[in-house]
Amino acid sequence: MRTTRPRTDRIRIRTTSLVATVIAALAAVLLPVATVQAASAAGTVRHGLSRPDYSYADAVREAVWVETGRDDDGDGRTDRVAADIVRPREPAAAGRKVPVIMDASPYYSCCGRGNEGQLKTYDDQGRMVQAPLYYDNYFVPRGYAVVLVDLAGTNRSDGCVDVGGPSDIGSAKAVIDWLNGRAKGWTSRTGSRPASARWSTGDVGMIGKSWDGTIANGVAATGVRGLRTIVPISAISSWYDYYFQQGAALYGSGPDWLSDYVESPAARARCGAVQQRIVDGAPRSGDWTRFWSERDYTKDAGKVRASVFAVHGMQDLNVRTKHFGQWWSALAAHGVERKVWLSQTGHVDPFDFRRDAWVSALHRWFDHYLLGVRNGVEREPGADVERAPDRWTTDRSWPPAGTEPTRLNLRPGAVPGQGGLSTAPAVPGSTAAFTDTPQEWEEDWAAGADTPSDSRAVFTTGTLKRDLRLSGSGTVTVTASSSTTSAHLSAVLVDLGPDTVRDFLGAKEGIVDLATRSCWGESTEGDSACFRDTATDAADVTHTVVSRGWADLGHAASAWQGRPLVPGRAYTATVTLAATDHVVPAGHRLALIVAGTDGGMVEPPDTTPTVTLDLARSRALLPLVGGARGLAAAAPHAPAAQRVADVPPAPRRTATTVPTGR
């Protein structure tokens, strides 16, 4: 197992000695003008970075309750959401204003944030003592305010949780409006003393993981003025795709359970009507309803004014990369400035898998988009991709230039259910069949890819002579008939060959905790800047699932409403594969597995069908770097019949359905 060397006592200390002052003054004279900027709201900027010139211990800590313009909890008054603020005292005293880093979350009292599950804590005057995560410790000394918002219906906020809908998004947007003088704020939850944000420039950067990052996506999609950038980490872009994929219900409970999970006791007692609207609007049928349309941020990507720095684990089985891929494509279609990091982890924050590089990148990103520092971050490569544990590559854009959707046909093999995947012409009249087996899942199918089975059909390339890179989102279109009135489809891309990868199926989805801590910013007695170090959790594997997608065959004709299947009738469905970036190395094979229920990921249909594929009318469209020519160079010949081997089943895993974001 490969691990990173622990680093301890990494504390940022502000030097105030006379010697340091003299050195800084000399540097300002000797260095080129482009690398030194005058004092700003963030204090001194040197070498393109804001410096920790302000006292964290003396920072202003206050709470403001902002009106949302709604009364979702039905108590007869406008709902107010709580915003806990930590900001440097010195700029306000000098009449200077500071920008804001905001994390709006439902988790500040129920579940915690970050790898250590930190909660907000308060003093006897109701001021926040511990602000979860490192944003305040690191950025407040550098001239930023950090604002942590309790979403409506959670912690100290009024209102009701509506799981990514108008209440969730509106409560965070209202705080941005208040920071820009467009909404009313008060110094208490029920009082009449107004609070203003005269200390703020009104420029806001939203950040957060999981539900928090989802809120950043949703607020950006409103086009609210003042939101300059967002940093969504493992974030949802359409809530329908969190609970379903193309009509197939993903394993777990619905959004009504999630809202009840995070709501404060007071909200839970008053929000019965909202809860019922969630139940009514989100049936487990997989049908698309108005409820889901309200929570689809991709449709409003054209309203986004903010730049976007997205981060996602390519093996995230909680918030799957379908969310990142469709959001990225929608932003690209409207020319939104954007950057991405794609890791080999599951649902993990970059602070816990690439800490040094992450804090440095985030620092420069916020300095540029919130302080206007000319540090060139907008001209740097647009994508960082983790190729192997702790080994990263960069691309100017993502997907990289030369990536083309490439058609591969599904061809029969000498052994039933063991076919080929190539650009060779389809074979008229050829078929493959499988019987839905919910006891198995994608890891079982991949581990036994070379063993004939009635539970799935496998199509592989020959052994690759050169590396083959997939980058982006693909599709698999099948024409299929079912022996019963219902059927689900799973399409899984697999790299068949040995490798060492992050163990995303491990307890912490690719990382392990260490006994040491490292410090990022300044601390107080109640809020430490020191966080548990982590290292890579690696595993040796015989195969790697690269991408997956699911669909209900009964929703093939329309996403709006599923229909019972007519047994024996052929239906054509296109399954969208989750976005990925993976290099299948020379000596390996690329496999496409088509099956029924992906156990632990997708709930089974109400029947147990046998599904027959018409191979001549089925195909994969994959995002290959180099397109068809690249594929021809890597796999010049169609594969022969694959060998039969006895491969033990993979360990079973059930995916979580709660985007806890820890």
Query: According to CATH, where is 2.60.120.260 located in the chain?
Result: 403-501+542-634
Q: For the residues 562-590, what does the mean pLDDT come to?
A: 97
pLDDT of residue 82: 98
Rounded Cα gap, residues 87 and 365, in angstroms = 19
Query: According to CATH, where is 3.40.50.1820 located in the chain?
Result: 18-395
* Average pLDDT across the chain, whole number: 91
What is the identity of the amino acid at 220?
A: A
pLDDT > 80? residue 396: yes
pLDDT of residue 45: 87
pLDDT digits (tens, 9 = 90+) for 463-472: 999 999 999 9
pLDDT of residue 11: 27
pLDDT digits (tens, 9 = 90+) for 547-573: 999 999 999 988 889 999 999 999 999
pLDDT of residue 272: 96
**Architecture of domain 403-501+542-634 in this structure:** Sandwich (2.60)
pLDDT of residue 521: 97
pLDDT of residue 657: 40
Cα–Cα distances (Å) from 594 to 190, 347, 577, 646, in that order, read 57, 25, 12, 20
pLDDT bracket for residue 649 (50, 70, 90): very low
Q: Report yes or no: 85 and 199 within 8 Å, Cβ to Cβ.
A: no
Q: DSSP of 578-600, one letter per residue?
A: PPEEEEE-TT-EEEEEEES--TT
pLDDT bracket for residue 41 (50, 70, 90): low
pLDDT of residue 135: 98
Q: For the residues 358-385, what does the mean pLDDT come to?
A: 97
Catalytic site residue 9? no
pLDDT bracket for residue 23 (50, 70, 90): very low
pLDDT > 60? residue 412: yes
Catalytic site residue 316? yes
Phi and psi of 556, rounded to 5°?
-65, -35
Catalytic site residue 614? no
Cα–Cα distances (Å) from 194 to 63, 183, 599, in that order, read 12, 11, 54
pLDDT digits (tens, 9 = 90+) for 174-188: 999 999 999 999 999
pLDDT > 80? residue 585: yes
483-519: b (≥16 Cβ within 10 Å) or e: bbebbbbbbbbbbbbeeebbbbbeebbbbbebeebbb
Single pTM value for the model: 0.91
pLDDT > 80? residue 28: no
pLDDT > 50? residue 374: yes
Domain 18-395 grouped into CATH 3.40.190.80: no
pLDDT of residue 560: 86
What is the identity of the amino acid at 594?
A: V
pLDDT of residue 524: 97
% of the chain residues with pLDDT over 90:
87
pLDDT > 80? residue 242: yes
- Helices marked H in 296-341 — which ranges? 321-333
pLDDT > 70? residue 111: yes
pLDDT > 60? residue 170: yes
pLDDT digits (tens, 9 = 90+) for 116-130: 999 999 999 999 999
pLDDT > 70? residue 661: no
pLDDT > 80? residue 38: no
pLDDT bracket for residue 37 (50, 70, 90): very low
pLDDT bracket for residue 637 (50, 70, 90): low
Q: Name which of 288, 308, 145 is nearest 219 in CA terms.
A: 308
pLDDT digits (tens, 9 = 90+) for 301-327: 999 999 999 999 999 999 999 999 999
pLDDT > 70? residue 653: no
pLDDT of residue 447: 97
Cα–Cα distances (Å) from 197 to 180, 369, 386, in that order, read 8, 20, 41
pLDDT of residue 659: 45
Q: Given the residues 72, 79, 171, 347, select the one marked as catalytic.
A: 347
Q: Given the residues 210, 234, 237, 481, select the one marked as catalytic.
A: 210
pLDDT of residue 42: 56
Q: For the residues 212-241, what does the mean pLDDT come to?
A: 98
pLDDT > 70? residue 580: yes
